[in-house]
């Protein structure tokens, strides 16, 4: 057992506070990681506040984790003590279903799906021993913590060209936007529209541009138009009706990164015939879609969830190769509750990353 400390929410309405706990020693194929940095994803907030109605408390978020390997179980072959590694949204999967066998652990169809880095397996302890829980425990604690223990094949290699704090958001925001662009075949010269210009949108714009696409980003924040300029892509305000008229039938691919339900009808008509809009930000009941607009140009509305382990390694390497990464703002962990408020208020450019060195001073009396 290793003593650990992290920040957790105890109720949907409470702030995150320090929580001391024990991590199990690494098993044969597991590694122990000293967490260096952890990104702050909007999902962390959804989960901490029980906005998906499936939170198990205490809830210790964090699934954009970069750290240094401190111990290896005896069977570990992929990593060595001292390596800088990353952990994204998953720490295990059933390894037996068709998606797992195909290497798409993010679509695991095992009884509990993939094991989330935090709040997994999303079954309260009262049901954990009924055979409905293949993972054998009732909650996982994420990367807002000093130590993480994880199966070696769910840890990614952080390329030397990426700073650890920059690599962190790539593990969720990066792969969540990279994976659908890869799956739907975004290629050089394609016209790609990114909807929403927050943590995911920032990564999506940079990745699409590095893929050779001609990128337009849609935002409702006038101040962000200059950010689009800085990235050398077109920025469009979602209220700019003239621009929407001009862009009808313009895009080969669109990606919505808005982290809550929204109206996609204005965007559907911006797609070319036979093209697809993929929603990755919102996991909920969406606003109603006009099927005439979908059918009249044989368009598709699709969803995509994070990405596989292989996709995650690929996007890390892709970002290293192309010299791209998220714009980040480093915070100490004691600012996490303030940071949550800023994320909700869209007052972040574009991703908060917690410097976990700030955690060392803490004890439970904090």
Q: Nearer to a copy of itself by C-beta: 6 or 307?
A: 307
Distances, alpha carbon 123 to alpha carbons 2, 10, 120, in Å: 25, 16, 7
The least CB distance from residue 101 to a copy of itself, in Å, is 12
Characterize the bridge pairing of strands 147-151 and 65-72.
unpaired
Instruction: Say how many residues make up the chain.
Output: 366
Distances, alpha carbon 272 to alpha carbons 180, 192, 212, 296, in Å: 17, 11, 18, 11
Q: Nearer to a copy of itself by C-beta: 210 or 283?
A: 283
The least CB distance from residue 113 to a copy of itself, in Å, is 8
Distances, alpha carbon 7 to alpha carbons 108, 187, 255, 335, in Å: 28, 41, 32, 11
Q: Nearer to a copy of itself by C-beta: 81 or 302?
A: 302
Preceding peptide of 58 cis, ω within 30°:
yes
Whose structure tokens read 């199966």? 151
Q: Nearer to a copy of itself by C-beta: 36 or 207?
A: 207
The least CB distance from residue 290 to a copy of itself, in Å, is 5
- Which residues, at least 6 apart from 172, have a Cβ–Cβ distance to it below 8 Å? 39, 41, 43, 63, 64, 88, 89, 306
Strand pairing partners for 271?
A: 251
Q: Nearer to a copy of itself by C-beta: 103 or 222?
A: 103
The least CB distance from residue 112 to a copy of itself, in Å, is 13
Strand pairing partners for 71?
A: 32
Question: Around Cβ 7, how many Cβ atoms within 10 Å?
Answer: 27
Q: Nearer to a copy of itself by C-beta: 234 or 283?
A: 283
Structure tokens at 48: 């901490």
Q: Nearer to a copy of itself by C-beta: 128 or 305?
A: 305
The least CB distance from residue 180 to a copy of itself, in Å, is 8
What residue ranges bind a copy of itself (CB under 8 A)?
98-99, 104, 107, 109, 113, 180, 183, 249, 261, 273, 276, 279-280, 282-305
The least CB distance from residue 181 to a copy of itself, in Å, is 13
The least CB distance from residue 63 to a copy of itself, in Å, is 16
């Amino acid at each position: 057992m290793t003593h650990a400390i992290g920040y957790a929410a105890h109720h949907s309405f409470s702030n995150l506070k320090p929580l001391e706990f024990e991590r199990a020693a690494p098993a044969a194929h597991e590694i122990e990681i000293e967490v260096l940095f952890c990104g702050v994803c909007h999902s962390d907030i959804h989960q901490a506040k029980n906005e998906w109605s499936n939170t198990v408390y205490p809830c210790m978020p964090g699934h954009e984790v970069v750290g240094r390997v401190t111990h290896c179980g005896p069977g570990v072959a992929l990593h060595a003590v001292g390596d800088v590694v990353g952990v994204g949204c998953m720490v295990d999967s059933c390894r037996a279903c068709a998606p797992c066998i195909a290497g798409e652990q993010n679509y695991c169809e095992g009884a509990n799906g993939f094991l989330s880095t935090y709040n997994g397996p999303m079954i309260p302890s009262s049901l954990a021993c009924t055979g409905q829980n293949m993972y054998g425990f009732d909650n996982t604690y994420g990367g807002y913590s000093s130590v993480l223990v994880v199966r070696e094949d769910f840890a990614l290699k952080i390329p030397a060209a990426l700073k650890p704090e920059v690599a962190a958001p790539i593990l969720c925001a990066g792969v969540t936007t990279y994976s659908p662009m890869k799956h739907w075949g975004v290629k050089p010269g394609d016209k790609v529209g990114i909807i929403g210009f927050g943590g995911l949108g920032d990564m999506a714009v940079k990745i699409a541009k590095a893929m050779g696409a001609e990128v337009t980003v849609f935002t409702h924040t006038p101040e962000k138009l200059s950010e689009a300029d800085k990235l050398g892509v077109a920025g469009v305000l979602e209220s700019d009706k003239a621009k929407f008229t001009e862009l009808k039938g313009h895009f080969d691919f669109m990606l919505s990164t808005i982290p809550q339900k929204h109206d996609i009808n204005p965007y559907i008509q911006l797609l070319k015939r036979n093209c697809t809009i993929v929603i990755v930000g919102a996991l909920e009941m969406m606003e109603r879609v006009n099927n005439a607009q979908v059918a009249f140009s044989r368009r598709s509305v699709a969803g995509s969830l994070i990405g596989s382990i292989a996709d995650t390694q690929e996007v890390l390497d892709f970002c290293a190769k192309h010299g791209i990464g998220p714009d980040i703002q480093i915070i100490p962990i004691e600012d996490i509750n303030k940071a949550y408020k800023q994320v909700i208020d869209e007052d972040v450019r574009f991703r908060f990353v917690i410097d976990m060195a700030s955690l060392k001073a803490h004890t439970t009396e904090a």
